[in-house]
Amino acid sequence: MERLLDKLVERHELDKEEIICLLQHLTAERKDRLFHLAVQTRKLHYGESVFLRGLIEFSSFCKQDCLYCGLRRSNPSAERYRLTEEEILESAEAGYSLGYRSFVLQSGEDYYFTEARLIRIVKSMKLRFPEAAITLSIGERSEAFYRALFDAGADRYLLRHETASRSLYQSLHPGMSYDHRVSCLHTLKDIGYQVGAGFMVGLPGQTCEHLAEDLLFLKELQPEMIGIGPFIPHSATPLKDARGGTVEDTLVMIAMARLLVPEALIPATTAMGTLDPVGREKALGAGCNVVMPILSPLGVRRKYALYENKICMGDEASLCRSCLEMRIAAAGYRIDLSRGDHCSFTGRAGGEPRR
């Protein structure tokens, strides 16, 4: 096992059998070493910086019916909302005044927000905040749509692959195609976005083999961002009685991803903080270097319920920023309010430089 850890940190690669073997034989001491190696690798590329992204969850409508998600279209108890274009810009303005220079626009797959509407929003944000980076996280769309939004000024796109197992993916995503999901990710990279992929830990039926496939998928794709979080059952979904993922298992996957894709930007997710009061701090101690505080209006935050009992639903943006700064400092890191681009990024053609 020590040989496998050495290979992982020195060459940033393992094959599927080696990953499975390592996962099945992780003692407490080996986990500690794994986390330490992940943090040291993160520091090589990003130092002590933890980048903040202001998250604006602008619509809870979704056309998809994913079995694990509280926003699934078949959930009659979901409270639906859409922010107006002005509300989105006001949320960004509040974040900008607090120093944020990176914004994430996230929603369910809501086709009310057409290409034209989203182009208008992105262009308005770029006009008001020209030095800020804009990330979209709005699901599967066409290549023409992705290109149009990139041309409008969007910098990044988050589209978690959820699981790299075709059979597991199909069982959890009725009416959706695994091949199309993967095709979207490659299209986004070809266009020039900084791309985010990722998966959930603890899904029903998930095995060490599935997790190894997820890690190898990320290794092959080389996304600029990797989102990994625990599966948290929602009471209004078909998986309400399933056992959820754990913080500990998720930390292992975060650290493995950091060592396999060493330059990635990896968020300490809100889901980690929901399961454990210091879950985000633990994630920073396993190789994460991004935190995404919510900037959405207080009145709609609880309605964006991918899972239940989400933290920070009642905190004003300024209070959340102060709290995070203290937490990050106490964990031994420092917040960085720059765009926080991938360390290899040198700027878009005709666009703004990295910092």
Q: What is the DSSP letter of 303?
A: T
If you average pLDDT over residues 208-235, what whole number do you get? 98
Q: Model pTM?
A: 0.95
pLDDT higher than threshold 50 for residue 112 = yes
pLDDT higher than threshold 50 for residue 168 = yes
pLDDT higher than threshold 90 for residue 73 = yes
Tens of pLDDT, residues 281-313: 999 999 999 999 999 999 999 999 999 998 888
Residue 312's pLDDT is: 81
- Is 355 strand, coil or helix? coil
Residue 51's pLDDT is: 97
Percent of the chain whose pLDDT exceeds 70: 98
pLDDT higher than threshold 90 for residue 142 = yes
Which pLDDT band, with edges at 50, 70 and 90, does 355 fall under? very low
Strand partners, 334: 49
Could you give phi then psi for residue 137, rounded to 5 degrees? -140, 80
If you average pLDDT over residues 42-52, what whole number do you get? 97
Average pLDDT, the chain: 95
Residue with tokens 């859409």: 82
Residue 127's pLDDT is: 98
Cα 337 vs. chain centroid, distance in angstroms? Answer: 18
- Is residue 160 within 8 A of residue 197, CB to CB? The reply is yes
Could you tell me which residues come within 8 angstroms of residue 21 by beta carbon, excluding any fewer than 6 positions away? 1, 4
Residue 353's pLDDT is: 34
